[in-house]
Amino acid sequence: MKAPATTISIDPALAAIWPDTALGCVYWSAPVLPQEPQLWQHFASHTQPRLAQMLESTELAAMPQIGTSRRAFKAFGRDPGRVRISSEALYRRLRQGKELYPINTAVDANNLVSLETGFSLGTYDLACLQGNLVLRLGHEGEGYAGIGKDTLDLHRMPLLADALGPVGCPCSDSQRAMIVENMAENTALRQMLTVIYGFSGPQAVEAAISLTKEHFTAFAAAQISAAGVVCP
C-alpha cells in the first residue's frame, strides 16, 4: 500500500505519562451518503441486544476500554467524571433508553465500531487537515467548538493537532474536519482518516482496526488504502 501523506505520531511527553497509549489509524475513501440500511439492521439484530444485556449487568467503568480511559485521563490531569470519551457517552445514551439516529454513512460506521469495541473513534476529512498529526496534551487556553457542543476546554486533554492546531480528541472532535455527507447525487470519493484512541496498549487496538476495516467496507463502501497502529 502507498504510504499515507498525513502521518501521526505520539508526543513523548504524553507517552511518558501514559506509556500504554496507542492509536489505530485507518485511511480510507468512500462517498458519504445519508445512511446505509444494512448497518442499522446489524445494529438492531446484533449490536443493540448484546449491549443492552451488558449495560444492564455491568458498571460503565467495567465496560471495555472505559475504565482504562478514565485512569489515563486522571493521569493526564483531567477529571474523568467531568469529561467522557465518546464511547462512554454512547453507552450512557443507550442505558438511558435514548435512540441513536443516522447521521451519515461514515459517522454511523464510526459509532458502530465504537459501540462494539468501547474505543473512542474519530473520523476526519483529510482535505481539511494541514500537515501531519500529533497526539499531545492540550495547552492552557486551547479549545474548539466540538461537533454538537459548545467550546470544549482542551487543557491537559489528549488531542490530535495538525499545523493549524487541535482538530480532534477522544471526547468530541472539532467542526473543522468533520465528515458531512455528499451533496445529492454526488458520489465522489472522500479521503478520510479514522483514528482509534487507545490507552490499553496495541493489542486491543489491532483487533479494533480489523473490525473497523470489516464494518467500514460492509456498511460505508470503504476502500481501505492503509491501516496500522501507532505506539510511542
Give dist(CA 222, CA 216) in Å, integer: 5
Average pLDDT score over the chain: 93
- pLDDT, tens digit, 9 for 90 and up, residues 102-119: 999 999 999 999 999 999
Pick the CATH number of 8-230 from 3.60.21.10, 3.50.40.10, 2.40.160.20, 3.40.50.1100: 3.50.40.10
State yes or no: pLDDT of 209 exceeds 80.
yes
State yes or no: pLDDT of 183 exceeds 80.
no
- pLDDT, tens digit, 9 for 90 and up, residues 211-226: 999 999 999 999 999 9
The pLDDT, as a whole number, for residue 2 is: 54
pLDDT band of residue 3 (cuts 50, 70, 90) is low
Whole-prediction pTM value?
Answer: 0.95
The pLDDT, as a whole number, for residue 148 is: 77
The pLDDT, as a whole number, for residue 229 is: 97
Give dist(CA 208, CA 214) in Å, integer: 10
At 208, the amino acid letter reads A
Burial readout 1-33 (b: 16 or more C-beta within 10 A, e: otherwise): eeebebebebbeebbeebebbbbbbbbbebbbb
The pLDDT, as a whole number, for residue 146 is: 86
